[in-house]
A and B are shown apart, each in its own frame.
Chain A
Amino acid sequence: MPRKIPWIIKYRPKKIADVVNQDSAKKQFIQWLESWLKGKPLKKAALLYGPAGCGKTSLVEAAANEYKLEVVEMNASDFRRKQDIERIAKVAATMRSLFARGKIILLDEVDGISGMADRGAIDAILHLLEVTKYPIVMTANDPWDQKLKPLRDASLMIAFKRLSERDVILVLKRICQAERLECEDNALREIARRSEGDLRSAINDLQAIAEGYGKVTITLVRELSAYRYREYAPFEALQKLFNAKYIWQAKAAVTQTNIDYETMMIWVNEHIPTYYDDPEELARAFDALSRADVYMGRIRKSGSWDLLSYVFDMMGPGVAFARRIYKYKWKIFRSPKRLQLLAQTKRSREVREGIARALAPRLLTSKATVKRDVIPFLKIIFTNNPKYAAKIALGYELTEEMIKWLAGPKASQVLAYYKKYKK
């Protein structure tokens, strides 16, 4: 099977013209970039802002591609430590050598910084703007936080508008053609409608359906929407969690979702091995999750709900940063088997519980002890000695269902004796 590349990466725009719509933003951005290349920047930084999935980062990458520039992405959380700031400042301040390519320094999602409540990071970026010899591009969904004001003042503000349904459909169609996918028009329209202008999520939806079923029909889209209602929220949260670049993104993935944290924990528990193959990463991720679970247990016991923050730290960043190197991976996160198994085996567990309830008072012990220490031996008797088993069934007035459960393959024999003796 060929390795699956996420389509949002595979179909990333290569040229500025490929970036859908956003003509005014493109014009401003190119003007600004060229002013830099001519050596007389209008402003040292540009802050691209607009709703998620409208093409901010795509435009930066496409432009870099056309102008043969290298994109150096900076991690916003790097701005918290002095030596990191100095390292980045050094890179940014170094004049380009004769042979090296030019650079664009990209600070993605700077609105996350305000979430870190970290004044120092803003100062560090301002310092970076002073010394830089390269254009600096920042992106944000919502740049209007008070803490970001110094950055707004120092940057050329470039607004991106929400994409229309038509824009989204256009891109989806292009992808369907390139992938030779059978796509119904109204199916694409439905995906676009539900994306609310977020092209990234629309492309992800398209890929999820296409890879699951090999074609894209309106029925499948509607099913996904039912699926999404139940399962999309965790699915999306896991995608964000595992692919988080920064600590705060990983934490946001587990806190800013409408799934409760206990369900989220079950999903993360299920999908750590979906995402991690390397045994070391796997062990580290599970170690972090098990710590989250320990905190959860302490909360339940002590009622100290302020420990919940540590649950999120371990379940979010702890799990996401178990990796040794960052790499975006597209994975399908299905509903946890644990929940399915519990549903499938519900009856069986009820029968076992019933046997334990019947035996515990007679053996003067707890149901838990009966399940652990008595039922295994009872099963041996029932599967090996049907005649004797039938007598015990009589002694404890076990139901037919209990006898079947205990005797397994020998059920009919035990039941035959049981009925004979009962008369």
Chain B
Amino acid sequence: MSSSGEVLAELLWAEKYRPKTLDEIVNQEEIVSRLKKFVEEKNMPHLLFAGPPGTGKTTAAHCLAHDLYGENYRQYMLELNASDERGIDVIRSKVKEFARTRVAANIPFKIVLLDEADNMTADAQQALRRLMEMYTATTRFILIANYPSKIIEPIQSRCAVFRFTPLKKEDVVSRLKWIADQEKVEYDLEALEAIYELSEGDMRRAINILQAAAALGKITVESVYKVVGLAHPREIRQMIQLALAGNFNEARDKLRELMINYGLSGLDVIKQVHREIFSQDIKLPDEYKIIIADLAGEIQFRLVEGADDEIQLNAFLARLAFIGKKLKS
């Protein structure tokens, strides 16, 4: 950790070491070179950036805008996040308001950045498509999505689609190494490799793990696992075990603790449950693990479709308790 003393304020490394310009982006070379063309031409179509979390989609959009407009690019860009904005009406009025203001002297358009666009319903996307057409003279949209298939066809056909690929191990590890060197923290190389494995190619997550592990001291494989363990409440496993032992009520209390104290959403819980089911600590015959995984998938689908977290997860736990009972007898 730098202890220079002059600047006391510290930032999260995910912000501190985020590339500011297209030149600073070290991977996704092909995408970057295409984006640089837009900067040269001072023109671009609507864009759709698709790919897994933490592969640099949002960062690339900001770098592109930076290179187009310069340091103060954010005044020419409207940043929206579909999962935080309440509905298409809010988005429509913000876009309308934004489109009315002046454009930069040398670039004839402004940018609307809509992150997590695949969280929008099909109806909202239709309305979005009309918005894109209405303001096409003065604005360009950059849509960001994890799953391009969840973006409706009429929008896809109006955008240049960029597919971001999962980051390669050497890319992630070398970036982590570089950050650790900048911060003058000690580390074991295996620890950085462990971070890559645990973060599944998600750079933001990898950097978060790195920084939390560094806060504990030298970055070792142990400290990395400790950090990830702490970040993943062990209540998930306890909850599963309680339910399988037939203690439905206690399992339900654990669920409430997770959702209220840890602030996990139902989706967070069911995804972590899915990971836990196949771990060695959950003692179950394999065929039951498959039945439970199938059930978890159904519950996850229902939650994505807008079902109630607590009711669906209670139904899941009740089924676990029933399976537990069948196994005992």
Contacts and interface: CB of A to CB of B under 8 A. Distances in A.
A and B assemble together: yes
Interface of A: 265, 269, 272-273, 279-280, 282-283, 285-287, 289-290, 293-294, 296-298, 300-301, 337-338, 341-342, 345, 348-349, 352, 359-369, 371-381, 384-385, 388-389, 391-392, 394-396, 421
Contacts of B265: 368, 372
B260 A290 contact: no
B306 A279 contact: no
Given A282-B318, A287-B319, A337-B256, A366 B12 contact: no
CB-based closest 4 A-B pairs = A290-B315, A391-B10, A283-B322, A376-B231
A376 B212 CA distance: 9
B200 interface: no
A394 B307 contact: no
A337 B257 CA distance: 12
Interface stretch (B78-86, B135-143, B148-156, B169-177): B78-86
B12 A338 contact: no
A365 B81 contact: yes
A421 B5 CA distance: 10
A273 B252 contact: yes
Given A282-B321, A337-B256, A380 B14 contact: no
B217 to A, nearest CB: 9
B315 A286 contact: yes
Nearest to B61: A364
A366 B11 contact: no
B118 to A, nearest CB: 12
Contacts of A337: 256
B95 to A, nearest CB: 18
27 contacts: A269-B310, A273-B252, A279-B248, A279-B321, A282-B248, A283-B318, A287-B318, A287-B319, A290-B302, A293-B302, A297-B305, A297-B307, A301-B306, A361-B79, A363-B204, A364-B62, A366-B84, A366-B115, A367-B81, A368-B83, A369-B53, A372-B265, A373-B204, A377-B208, A392-B10, A394-B8, A396-B11
Interface residues of B, number: 60
A345 B259 CA distance: 11
A392 B85 CA distance: 27
Interface of B: 1, 8-12, 14-15, 18, 53, 58-59, 62, 79, 81, 83-84, 115-116, 121, 204-205, 208-209, 211-212, 215-216, 227, 230-232, 246, 248-249, 252, 256, 260-265, 268, 302, 305-308, 310-312, 314-315, 318-319, 321-322, 324-325
Contacts of A388: 1, 10, 215
Given A285-B318, A345-B261, 10 more contacts: A279-B322, A279-B324, A283-B319, A289-B311, A294-B305, A296-B308, A297-B306, A365-B115, A367-B83, A372-B268
A265 B309 CA distance: 13
A349 B211 CA distance: 25
Contacts of B324: 279
Contacts of B84: 360, 366-368
A359 B14 CA distance: 11
Contacts of A363: 12, 14-15, 204
Given A301-B305, A338-B310, A360-B81, A384 B1 contact: no
Given A273-B248, A279-B248, A373-B205, A381 B211 contact: yes
Contact of B314 (A286, A360, A367, A380): A286
A388 B213 CA distance: 12
B318 A265 contact: no
B58 A364 contact: yes
Contacts of A372: 264-265, 268
Contacts of B79: 361, 364
A159 B325 CA distance: 51
Contacts of B205: 373
A310 to B, nearest CB: 14
A372 to B, nearest CB: 6
